[in-house]
A = this chain, B = another copy of it.
Amino acid sequence: MNIDMIRAAATRLQGHARRTPILTSPFLDDIAGRRLFLKAECLQHTGSFKFRGGWSAVSALGDNALKTGVIAFSSGNHAQGVALAAREHGAPAVIIMPADAPTIKIENTRALGAEVVLYDRATENRDAIGARLAQERGLVLIKPFDEPQVIAGQGTCGLEIAKDMNALGVTDADVAVCCGGGGLTSGIALALAADAPTLRVRPAEPAGFDDVTRSLASGRIERNSRMSGSICDAIITPQPGDLTFPIMQAHCGPGVVVTEDECLAAMGLAFERLKIVIEPGGAAALAAALFHPDAFAGDAIVAVATGGNVDPAVFARALDTLT
């Protein structure tokens, strides 16, 4: 993994991924106690940053692999990113999804042309299912985060943050990133180390699923004790990746842990002040910036809103925080 792979991915994504905007509000600055820049990656194609990694990985394949097709396992956002990237490359896609993933994510993945295989998150092993299907059909497995071309694709988000912050003259800021397995976090960290080295990445995680925060603190890979039961489903993973963890160790500051209620409140404020839709897992970084200001250094903070694929009933709970 290196910065050249991220720059090459940026070239492949040019004209295909959306260059998402940086949004601001004086009301949110007041709450955060510093200038707050929100990178609205929920406005990316398929509603999350995962389209970047999906496109990067699919576009790096040769013609034969594209003809045979790709396979991915995902709680939803990676699924949609890979499905759309595959469809636009004319490649078949099989997506293995947990049966308890939000309905909208399962439906969207099918509507984007992928074959969806559901499994029980509590009793079945998605890796084993993926390996078997990949072997049977000769499909190329696109892992959700611990995969160089995926990390490279997510890193293009970091190149954009570096460019925008450099243009704004922002040099003294933490960059809070909602963190699951660490693909986006490590990709952004590599991009900033190259292009905006005074900015420091800070992983944000939900309480009870803070494997990266604990791993960074202990210096070795720590696991979550459970894998379900959070509204922040998009960023729940067993543990940081073998590729992503060393990158995060080298480049990231300590993790910041937020509650589900803080994520819902951040979603409500993003609705009210920025006019964007964020899903609970995608609001962890904004929640950290708004409700844990003492955890950060600098006169500004960048928060990455990583996705917006949320069921209406959950979003209604976020609206309730405003009244």
Contacts and interface: CB of A to CB of B under 8 A. Distances in A.
A183 interface: no
Interface stretch (A92-100, A121-129, A314-322): A314-322
Contacts of A272: 104, 312
Contacts of A112: 26
Nearest to A320: B312
A95 B304 CA distance: 35
- State the main secondary structure of chain A at its contact with B: helix
Interface residues of A, number: 32
Copies in the complex: 2
Residue from the set A20, A111, A272, A274 with the largest chain B CB neighbour count within 10 Å? A272
A42 interface: yes
Nearest to A277: B275
A43 B23 contact: yes
A271 interface: yes
Interface in A297-318: 308-309, 312, 315-316
Interface of A: 18, 20-21, 23, 26-27, 40, 42-43, 47, 84, 104, 108, 111-112, 268, 271-272, 274-278, 308-309, 312, 315-316, 319-320, 322-323
Given A275-B278, A316-B319, 18 more contacts: A18-B21, A20-B21, A23-B43, A26-B84, A27-B111, A42-B275, A43-B275, A43-B276, A104-B272, A271-B277, A271-B312, A275-B277, A275-B309, A276-B276, A276-B277, A277-B277, A312-B322, A315-B319
